[in-house]
Amino acid sequence: MHQEKNIPSSWHGNLDIVYALRNGKTQPIRDRVQAPLKVQRPFYPEGEICHTAILHTAGGIVGGDRLSINLQLQPRSQALVTTTAATKIYRSNGLPARQTVEMQIDAGACLEWLPQETIVFNEANYRQDLRVELAPGASWLGWEITRFGRSARGERFLQGEWRSHTEVWQQGQPLWIDRQWLPGEEAVLNSPHDLARHSIVASLTWIGCEVSPELVVQARELWGQGSGVGSRESGVGKESRRAGKQGSRGSISSHQSLATQLPTTNYQLPTTNHGVTRLPQGLLCRYRGSSSIEVRHWFTSVWQLLRLSLLDRSSCLPRVWQQ
């Protein structure tokens, strides 16, 4: 009983890492952590690039939790940051949970932000705010894979709320702003304008330089290779193209849902939706489907393509993915 009283009802965790290039290798020169966040020791499978894995020691995020992650890459430093496991967002106790991620990437530096998927339990209330300050000559690649409900158990996201706000700025100018919101409702889960009876949405974003039309075509052609799954490009793909035309703004879900305005009973759902579009200084991939393996395979293939084409780096999967 005494041990239970010592367990906090909510966590206010912090992680603060500063990377710098030292003797031809990127090293964390400052590493401050506060539970439940922790980092494993740096790993160098590629020589100068520092691989970092973030660990959530409490096993998941609950209502009232406040987590803050701050990453700074000094000039010409190179880092890849991932998580040791999927992030679980548990049912809320009435309070919202929030995670804030701040990234400062200095000139010539590159950060690859590749967390494993987030699983949003039914009745969870969660918001993530991610902001990147990108210096001229710097680059950032990030992805976000979110599963709504423990679908393997038949659970659906029927109550709760999920928000994800991503912003990339350079010298006071927005390069990419993406605001996504999904309330847990039956109509939203079924509507073709929202989840369309799928359980996963995902985005991969590269910001740092212009991407050629040929590279966009290559990213599209990687879809389904080796996965044995076909799809059609609609929904998310169309929205992605509209986002590209808008310049710095876009979203795969509207803040004012159309779910209650359009009939869905006879709607023929595609197997999966996917799309690739150019951004003013980058590339965007979107996914809406029901297979974590499918989206991870595609995103990993696109990531490896961008690595080779834009960073002159070969493929190197984080070690924690292979455990």
240-282 tens-digit pLDDT: 333 333 333 333 333 333 233 333 334 444 578 899 999 999 9
Q: Tell me the domain boundaries of the chain.
A: 10-322
- Note the pTM of the prediction, 2 decimals: 0.84
User: CA 136, 174, 31 angle in degrees (round to 5)?
Assistant: 60
Average pLDDT over residues 6-16: 76
E strand or H helix at 21: strand 12-22
At 76-103, the pLDDT tens digits run 999 999 999 999 999 998 899 999 999 9
What b/e string do you get for 121-130 counting C-beta neighbours within 10 Å, with b at 16 or more?
Answer: bbbbbbebbb
DSSP output for 131-164? EEEE-TT-EEEEEEEEEES-GGGT----S-EEEE
Residues in contact with 242: Cβ distance below 8 Å, sequence separation at least 6, in sequence order: 250
Q: ∠ CA(201), CA(199), CA(151), 5° rounding?
A: 140
